[in-house]
């Protein structure tokens, strides 16, 4: 007797760690009162200013005082003449320790940037920045790694000396390297993994104790990818290398305006079309990069000389051309690339250009997630143009454009690290950006060439993957046959790993490959923890295989539970998929469908699907299967008869041939079996399931006697009519037996 495996996914109950947990929370709202300090202030004395100015002193030439408003106490730095005239607290640092910093800031007068700075014996470290407002409190969140041990001083500065700086709820929490790494492990366990209960039952449904089980997970569902170059079209080695590793791609140049219309009026989408087709064939999602690029250096050569009116016309033509062409085929669009650093289009077409542009693209393709995309937000604390607070401001600015209020704007973080990565600042910056509720992706991550390049590359990849709000990672590692890369190469010209490639392969294995072995308990259950995936990638692959007319508006980066046809869903796992009368064509892929292993109901009724119905052995939770009124051929899908939960099988109106398998008798819960209007031959099995209430095998090529069983005697002649051999005799015989019975 062969046992059957029943997989049931439940949510991870928690991860225990001795280290103090990291607080991923942040606020992007300006509040009437500040929140409590994180970690109760950490090593900061008197963090809420409840004990006067204890622990706080004037820095440089400022004057400070404690004030109180609506019961809240805080410190104010005023009469400032230099940017660094402020309030400070002396602290003691430990070299190599990571520090996470937070504070609530308010200013008087106009809204201005305020920077948290740590002065040490070696110099000055920037800890974070906020665009502070008057009349309300804003949260600054940042961090740094101490480069020296000993006394230091934390203070807050602003280049605008006309404002007073108000400070409250300050926190500085140290974490050792070991503790920091434990946060990554803890976050992965909670955000990327799930407990799985494997229940082993025999064919009667009885639990099997002490059964030896081995589970091998080959990859997780977390999207990881790379930039892709057009050399993929002519290199089998490149294709094999890429498809064996990555599930998402960004075309390095092929969708950009200067590539598709280098000469005005002469568009060429050849490479982009071919690369997108390659991606579809290999179930690789594609980020659209980009509609426009705001850097004046990267415009088509004919664009800069255009007058504003002619530029507006060219822009509108570009939007219609590229967005319409790839509508429904991309998971994201980088709409106006690097528009916090540059303003080519704004300078010519007005400051509202980005808001207008997002609105126009959304009108054409309302399902694709539209992204801001820029660099230095998490990788370079000294770039004041793209701090997390500036990024949040840009999101709000675009949403304020008429018609954009309900628009989801993705946060694209290029992540081109030049210097030694400031990992605490990277984490805290993502915390702040994630507080907007927008999807966060790492879109072009790499590390500049330096002695510890591969080591730093691993650091930033680990930090990105472990952050619970990061939804995907794309590396800027497009391959060139001459061996040149933008910053870091993963492989050489023969696709042999370089140090960066070793890092990526190690992490891909670590983040996706899991092997668990064990023995079931007295209830026939083995508990395991595995990397989980939602069903978006499987559904996108399904779309690529059967939706050539683009009838399904599915887009990665959005909640799969809201997609058309998903009628029941929990935490990204689809339980009921109903795609009826949707003009779907092509054949069903067994590997794709079997990834949807939480399905209870699957319906493709009324389409034009063809070919053999594939093996569905992994759909162990399936209860109802509707594949009627298509063009399926081949034999009955015997794998369905091993799915002991199945109650409803409707395959009528196809061209399925061969025998009706006797293994259907194993399905003791079978309630409906409709096989009419097919090409079945042979005899009718001795159906004996007491629960079978609806049966129809008419309009086939069946022959022989209808078995006389209590189950089959329930059904009238219409359930068996219009078959091949002596139908009338068989039906009369069946009626006679029914009378005798």
Instruction: Look at the chain and count its residues.
Output: 741
To 10 degrees, what angle do helices 308-325 and 353-364 make? 30
Give yes or no: 471 in active site.
no
Q: Is 274 exposed, middle or buried (0-12, 13-18, 19+ CB in 10 A)?
A: middle
Q: Cα dihedral angle (381, 383, 384, 390), rounded to 10 degrees?
A: -80
Residues 6+ apart with CB under 8 A from 152: 90, 91, 92, 93, 118, 119, 120, 121, 146
To 10 degrees, what angle do helices 177-191 and 453-466 make? 50
CA distance 502 to 510: 12
Contact yes or no for 220/192 (Cβ under 8 A): yes
Which of helix, strand or coil describes residue 48? Answer: coil
CA distance 460 to 515: 26
CA distance 556 to 558: 5
Q: Is 616 exposed, middle or buried (0-12, 13-18, 19+ CB in 10 A)?
A: buried
**Residues paired with residue 117 on neighbouring β-strands, in sequence order:** 126, 155
CA distance 28 to 381: 18
Candidate list 379, 444, 458, 471, residue with the active-site label: 444
* DSSP 8-class letter at 707: P
Q: Is 340 exposed, middle or buried (0-12, 13-18, 19+ CB in 10 A)?
A: buried
Residues 6+ apart with CB under 8 A from 119: 152, 153, 155
CA distance 438 to 377: 15
Cα–Cα distances in Å, from 585 out to 281, 325, 543, 551, 597?
15, 21, 10, 11, 22
Is the sign of the CA dihedral 144, 150, 155, 158 positive or negative? negative
Listed residue (662, 539, 592, 526) closest to 200, CA to CA: 526
Transcribe 264-318 into DSSP letters: TTB---HHHHHHHHHHHHTT-EEEEEEEEE--GGGS-TTSTTS-HHHHHHHHHHH
Which residues participate in catalysis according to the annotation? 444
């Amino acid at each position: 007797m062969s046992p059957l495996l029943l997989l049931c996914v439940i949510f991870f109950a928690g991860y225990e760690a001795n280290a103090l947990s990291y607080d991923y929370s942040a606020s992007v709202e300006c509040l009437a009162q500040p929140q409590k300090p994180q970690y109760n202030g950490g090593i900061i004395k008197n963090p809420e200013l409840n004990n006067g100015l204890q622990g706080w002193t004037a820095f440089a030439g400022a004057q400070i005082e404690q004030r109180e408003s609506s019961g809240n106490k805080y410190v104010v730095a005023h009469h400032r003449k230099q940017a660094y005239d402020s309030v400070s607290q002396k602290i003691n640092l430990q070299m190599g320790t990571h520090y996470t910093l937070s504070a609530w800031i308010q200013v008087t007068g106009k809204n201005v940037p305020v920077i948290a700075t740590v002065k040490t014996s070696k110099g000055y470290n920037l800890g974070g920045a906020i665009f502070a407002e008057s009349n309300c409190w804003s949260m600054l969140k940042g961090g740094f790694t101490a480069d020296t041990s000993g006394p230091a001083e934390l203070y807050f500065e602003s280049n605008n000396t006309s404002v007073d700086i108000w400070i409250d709820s300050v926190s500085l929490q140290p974490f050792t390297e070991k503790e920091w790494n434990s946060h990554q492990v803890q976050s992965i366990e909670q955000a990327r993994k799930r407990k799985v209960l494997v229940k082993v039952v025999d064919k009667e449904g009885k639990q099997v104790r002490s059964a030896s089980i081995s589970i091998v997970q080959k990859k997780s569902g977390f999207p990881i990818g790379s930039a892709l170059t057009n050399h993929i079209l002519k290199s089998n080695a490149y294709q094999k290398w890429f498809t064996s590793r990555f599930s998402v791609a960004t075309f390095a140049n092929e969708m950009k305006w200067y590539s598709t219309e280098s000469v005005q009026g002469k568009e060429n989408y050849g490479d982009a079309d071919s690369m997108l087709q390659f991606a579809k064939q290999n179930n690789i999602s594609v980020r659209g990069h980009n509609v426009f690029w705001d850097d004046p250096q990267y415009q088509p050569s004919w664009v800069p000389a255009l007058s504003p009116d002619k530029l507006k016309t060219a822009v509108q033509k570009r939007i219609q051309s590229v967005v319409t062409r790839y509508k429904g085929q991309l998971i994201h669009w980088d709409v106006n690339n690097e528009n916090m650093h540059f303003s080519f289009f704004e300078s010519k077409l007005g400051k509202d250009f980005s808001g207008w542009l997002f609105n126009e693209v959304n009108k054409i393709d309302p399902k694709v997630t539209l992204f801001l995309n820029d660099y230095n937000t998490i990788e370079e604390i000294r770039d004041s143009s793209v701090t997390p607070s500036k990024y949040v401001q840009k999101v709000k600015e675009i949403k304020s454009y008429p018609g954009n209020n309900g628009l989801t704007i993705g946060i694209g973080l290029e992540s081109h690290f030049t210097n030694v990565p400031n990992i605490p600042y990277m984490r805290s910056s993502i915390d702040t950006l994630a507080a907007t509720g927008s999807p966060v992706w790492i879109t072009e991550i790499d590390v500049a060439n330096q002695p510890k390049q591969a080591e730093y590359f691993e650091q930033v990849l680990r930090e990105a993957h472990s952050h619970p709000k990061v939804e995907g990672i794309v590396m800027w590692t497009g391959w060139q046959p001459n061996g040149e890369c933008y910053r870091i190469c993963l492989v050489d010209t023969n696709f042999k790993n370089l140090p960066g490639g070793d890092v990526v392969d190690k992490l891909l294995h670590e983040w996706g490959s899991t092997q668990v072995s064990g023995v079931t308990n007295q209830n026939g259950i083995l508990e395991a923890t595995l990397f989980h995936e939602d069903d978006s990638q499987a559904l996108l692959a399904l779309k690529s295989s059967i939706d050539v007319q683009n009838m399904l508006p599915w887009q990665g980066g959005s909640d799969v539970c809201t997609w058309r046809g998903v009628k029941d869903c929990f935490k990204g796992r689809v339980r009921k998929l109903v795609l009826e009368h949707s003009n779907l064509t092509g054949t069903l892929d067994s590997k794709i469908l079997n990834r949807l292993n939480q399905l209870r109901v699957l319906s493709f009724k009324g389409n034009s699907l063809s070919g053999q119905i594939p093996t569905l052995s992994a759909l162990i939770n399936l209860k109802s299967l509707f594949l009627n009124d298509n063009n399926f051929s081949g034999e009955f899908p015997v794998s369905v008869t091993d799915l002991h939960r199945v109650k409803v099988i409707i395959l009528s109106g196809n061209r399925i041939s061969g025998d009706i398998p006797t293994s259907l008798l194993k399905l003791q819960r079978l309630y409906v079996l409709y096989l009419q209007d097919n090409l079945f031959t042979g005899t009718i099995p001795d159906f004996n399931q007491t629960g079978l209430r609806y049966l129809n095998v008419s309009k086939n090529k069946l022959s022989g006697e209808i078995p006389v069983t209590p189950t089959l005697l329930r059904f009238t002649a219409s359930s068996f009519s219009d078959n091949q051999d002596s139908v009338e005799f068989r039906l009369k015989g069946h009626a006679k037996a029914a009378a005798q019975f």
